[in-house]
Amino acid sequence: MIYWDYNAAAPVRPEVATGLAHALIHGGHGNASSVHAAGREARARLDAARARVARVLGCEPKEVCFTASGSEADALALVGAWHARPSPERRRLVTSAVEHPALLGAVALLEREGAQVVRVAPGPDGRVREEDLLAALTPDTALCSLMWANNETGVVQPVAEVARACRKQGVLFHTDAVQAAGKLPLSLREVDADLLSLSAHKFGGPSGVGVLVVRKGVDVRALTPGHQEGGRRGGTQNIPYAEALALALELAAGEQATLAARLGSLRDDFERAVLESVAGVTVNGAGVARVPNTSNLRFDGVEGEALLIALDLDGICVSMGAACASGTLTPSHVLRAMGLSAVQARGSLRFSLGPDTREDDVRRVVDALRRHVPLVRALAG
């Protein structure tokens, strides 16, 4: 099998799996909120995991809040910060039209509560223009959210510039960095965000654990009441998973530059070979900075689901977009926001490479596309 759906979920790293198994079996059973010896040991392990995450991200340990997913981190960032905003008269929320469905769901919830939402459209290349987003920041804006890298196209957004502008205007800035971790240098020393979301299963950790960084001085109202995580998230902490996330993040950060160079070269070779050997193919997001592992290709005259199934029968795993939106008949909101028609969006597939991708995989996928695309076109008439 060739697995090219790393943007949906990356396999758990062997070192992480081994460490997680050891922690579950031998790590003790104390609750980090208990005052006895077992509880103190659990608290020490949790604090150590928090400090490790903070070192990688360039923030303080107390700013790291563990969650159960990137989706929860996004919801806590937006809904929690909105409800805790110090100036309730500020009712404007600015975001982009190409955010992950988890974040757009939180935005829609706040809109129903009365938030005045502005969704800034990207250009045809999938990148939100800095000047367009900044023009939407008015004196009554409380919160702005812009993803670091898009999960479908891989397009990198101008988060550093927008973060600086928001800081100057007193607007809280959140970035969904779920698809940036392990693929780009990730540091809050470079991108001065107030809130940042991560999910472990995108960079070799287990599913079911994420992080929300909440910078000092920023308040968020807990979605689940409780004293844990500095009052930001109630519930007993999952210490083995917090440790697994910390280890996966350290490993991903350590190999990021080397892996990015290798995968970027393989991705470019893949796109070049497909464009040369298959007619009627366009790279969605071409011409702007993208994370090095992601290629979103549009096949004219092709129903993407049919091509995906044909590839799957050949043992090649790819996707039509966000995993959480798979199985729906609605075309990608990201591609539609870029100006593609519904037919063009449904004719697009995402190929996301990972650490296990090799040159031979590229040749096999290109050969499969060369065989299947004409057949799928013929069947579609």
- Which of 61, 147, 133, 64 has the alpha carbon at shortest distance from 102? 147
Q: Give the active site residue among 144, 166, 317, 324.
A: 324
- Which of 147, 137, 20 has the alpha carbon at shortest distance from 96? 147
Tokens (6 digits) for 75? 């919801």
Distance CA 139, CA 145 (A): 16
- 324 carries an active-site annotation: yes
Distance CA 301, CA 374 (A): 9
Distance CA 32, CA 236 (A): 8
Helices 359-380 and 239-277, axial angle in degrees (round to 10): 60
- Which of 319, 295, 323, 325 has the alpha carbon at shortest distance from 307? 319
DSSP 62: G
- Which of 145, 161, 167, 33 has the alpha carbon at shortest distance from 80? 145
Residues assigned a catalytic role: 324
